[in-house]
Amino acid sequence: MMFEQQIAEYLTPHCSDTELVHEMAVRTQKKVTRRPNAPDPTVAAAALHLCAWVDDTAREHYAGLLACAMDARRREFIHPAFLPMIGQMDSLDWEFLSRLAACVTMPVVDCYLCKTKREGGFLGRQVEIKSSAIKILSRMTDFLPDDGDYARVQAAMDNLLRLQIIEVHMRSGREGLADIRSDNAYEEIYLRYEHVIGQAVGEFRGRFPKYHGGQLRFRTGNLMLTPFGGRFTRVCLP
């Protein structure tokens, strides 16, 4: 409550909705760490206007941006693009982003189904027919909601990639299951998604019978914040 009244006074000239001003003053004062300064009028007006059209999750992050705008030492990190971006993210986007910001980099795995052939005669080893590789699942990470809905996680990552908050770097080669299981980080992802992989492969083989003898192959890599995404999290994450 220490700065709530002062924050409300800073916000009032930029919004005629007194209830919204009060709500955002309460939210913002919980995020300030020192006596607030008057925010840039353009930032305050735009944030309050956008707050009228978003849910509680987004309002919480607009409050983080307003707190940053009232901090003379942090306001320079605000980019104008952050204002509309907050309203384009849902709760799972923020949950995923918070996890990534905490761990800096996140291992990621793509899953392929490949047809194989025997190399060197009957006793030769099975090798991948490279032109046959079909990606079954993309960007599996150790992040999966309690409901196990892989599609929701994919939508979150697609959105964060679209906003250029995150980036993915994949290794060039594909590996077998034994290679994946030799690395604890990637093995954990495989085990977490084992049921999802089995279901996806079963559905794919049902549609394309020629892949019934295909083998699973994996491509590994890492997911991280872009420099722009790092700046965004410094401003907008609580």
Structure letter (DSSP) for residue 141: -
What SS3 state is found at 169? strand
Alpha helix (H) residue ranges in 52-176: 56-69, 82-86, 91-103, 150-162
Burial of residue 136 (number of CB atoms within 10 Å: 0-12, 13-18, 19+): buried
Among residues 102, 32, 42, the alpha carbon closest in space to that of 72 is found at 32
Cβ neighbours around 153 below 10 Å, total = 21
- Tens digit of pLDDT at every position of the chain (238 positions): 679 999 999 999 999 999 999 999 999 999 998 999 999 999 999 999 999 999 999 999 999 999 999 999 999 999 999 999 999 999 999 999 999 999 989 999 999 988 766 555 545 555 555 556 889 999 999 998 888 888 999 999 999 999 999 999 999 888 888 888 888 999 999 999 999 999 998 998 888 887 777 788 999 999 999 999 999 999 998 7
This prediction has a pTM of 0.86
